[in-house]
Amino acid sequence: MASTYETVSGIISDTCDIEPDKITPESHAINDLGIDSLDFLDVAFAIDKAFGIKMPLEQWTQDVNAGTVTTDEYFVLKNLCANIDKLVAAKA
């Protein structure tokens, strides 16, 4: 069974047409990989479907706008995967 990171990096590679070797756990989806909001919508949809979750993107956006967290918390892939794992665990 693929790890969360393998699944997410595969989704990003396929959806955003990014070479797999350019994606690392340290990559920031926006700053490093250049994923824009429209492409991120595709990524979010694919992640929601793949893991059977509903990523709370609105809450995350509010957190970032409020300055309580940086974008790194949600958009650096290793952190994104950790958040996905929490959502999957909460669902179980």
Partner 1 sequence: MRLEYFQMVDRITSLDVPGGKIATACLVPEQSPVFEGHFPGYPILPGVLLIETMAQTGGWLILATQHCAKMPFLMQVEKAKMRAFVSPGQPLEVEATLLHEGSGYAVVKATIVSGGKKVTEAEIRYGVVPFPNETLKVAMLETARRVGLPEEFCNGA
Gap between the Cα atoms of 20 and 27, Å rounded: 12
Residue 69 interacting with partner 1 (CB under 8 A): no
Stretch that binds partner 1, among 5-13, 19-27, 41-49, 64-72 (CB under 8 A): 41-49
Residue 44 interacting with partner 1 (CB under 8 A): yes
Closest separation between CB of residue 26 and partner 1, Å? 25
Residue 66 interacting with partner 1 (CB under 8 A): no
Instruction: Answer yes or no: are the C-beta atoms of 33 and 16 closer than 8 Å.
Output: yes
Residue 41 interacting with partner 1 (CB under 8 A): yes
Chain residues binding partner 1 by CB under 8 A are: 38, 41-42, 44-45, 48-49, 54-59, 61
